[in-house]
Amino acid sequence: MILKDRVAIVTAAGSGIGRGGAEIMGREGAIVIATDLIAERAEETARRIRDAGGRADACQLDVTKDAEIERLVEQTAKAHGRIDILHNHAGIQVEGTLEQVPASGLDSSYAINVRAHFVAAKAALPHMKRQGKGVIINTSSNSGVFFDKGMLAYITSKTAVIAMTKQMALDYGPHNIRVNALCPGWVDTPFNDPYMRQMGGRGALEAYVKDKIPMGRWASVDEIAESILYLASDRSSYMTGHALVIDGGECIA
């Protein structure tokens, strides 16, 4: 088990990529703290990990509330004595162009997609520095690497995540704390609903995936989870400040 006894906090672990990442870390021996805005979803993820023979706890978490994030990190460190992995995965999509997106939409995108990552990383950092090592994974998107039509707030926030990740990596590499950005492409989950609306429906998005992605298909949650495991483990021990794009070639098409 390549993550044996390591303590991992995962935000938005109640479904999709967040759940997939939490589960694969649990299978590889990590003690997973699965959080989600909806408590029942977090508990379901933790139960699935435990049923598979792993160790996991669940916690309801609203990442827009700094105090909740800080309390979670401190409680985790107190209970387990360390924090080895932080996967900041919580995020939202707000669709629309400059004319269509209200300022509140940009604010929400920044608060959840960027600021919450910052607050959690800041809370975990003292524990990682004291340990002499740690891993932070900030979920961005391949939309943070290249641009697309009609998704101004989303792309702006996801680009900011990559810039923040690189700066964190630069500042804390000397402390043996690695910080990388996970940049998935199209995975068939409900998270895509806003973009689907912007494109005009499911059929339009299916056509885009088939025609514009060189591999011609969606990614599976399991495929993205393998990349999370890679970033969380010593398999990527010399990688920091990197935006790892897993998108079937979309960003080069």
- Known catalytic residues are 154
Rg of the chain over all Cα atoms, to the nearest angstrom:
17
Give tens-digit pLDDT for 135-179. 999 999 999 998 878 889 999 999 999 999 999 999 999 999 999
Are the C-beta atoms of 13 and 36 separated by less than 8 Å?
Answer: yes
In this predicted structure, the answer to whether residue 198 has a pLDDT above a threshold of 80 is no
Percentage helix, strand, coil, to 5, in the chain?
55, 15, 30
Amino acid 154: pLDDT: 94
Are the C-beta atoms of 65 and 82 separated by less than 8 Å?
Answer: no
Type of residue at 176: N
Amino acid 132: pLDDT: 97
**Which pLDDT band, with edges at 50, 70 and 90, does 249 fall under?**
very high
The CATH number of domain 7-190+220-246, selected from 3.40.50.720, 3.20.20.70, 3.40.630.40, 1.10.3720.10: 3.40.50.720
CB atoms inside a 10 Å sphere around CB 233: 18
**Which pLDDT band, with edges at 50, 70 and 90, does 227 fall under?**
very high
**Which pLDDT band, with edges at 50, 70 and 90, does 124 fall under?**
very high
Amino acid 142: pLDDT: 94
> Considering only CA atoms, which of 188, 187, 186, 166 is closest in space to residue 178?
166
User: To the nearest whole number, what is the mean pLDDT of the chain?
Assistant: 95
Type of residue at 55: R
> Considering only CA atoms, which of 136, 139, 108, 141 is closest in space to residue 122?
136
Amino acid 192: pLDDT: 75
**Which pLDDT band, with edges at 50, 70 and 90, does 87 fall under?**
very high
Amino acid 144: pLDDT: 92
Are the C-beta atoms of 47 and 26 separated by less than 8 Å?
Answer: no
Every domain of the chain and the residues it spans: 7-190+220-246
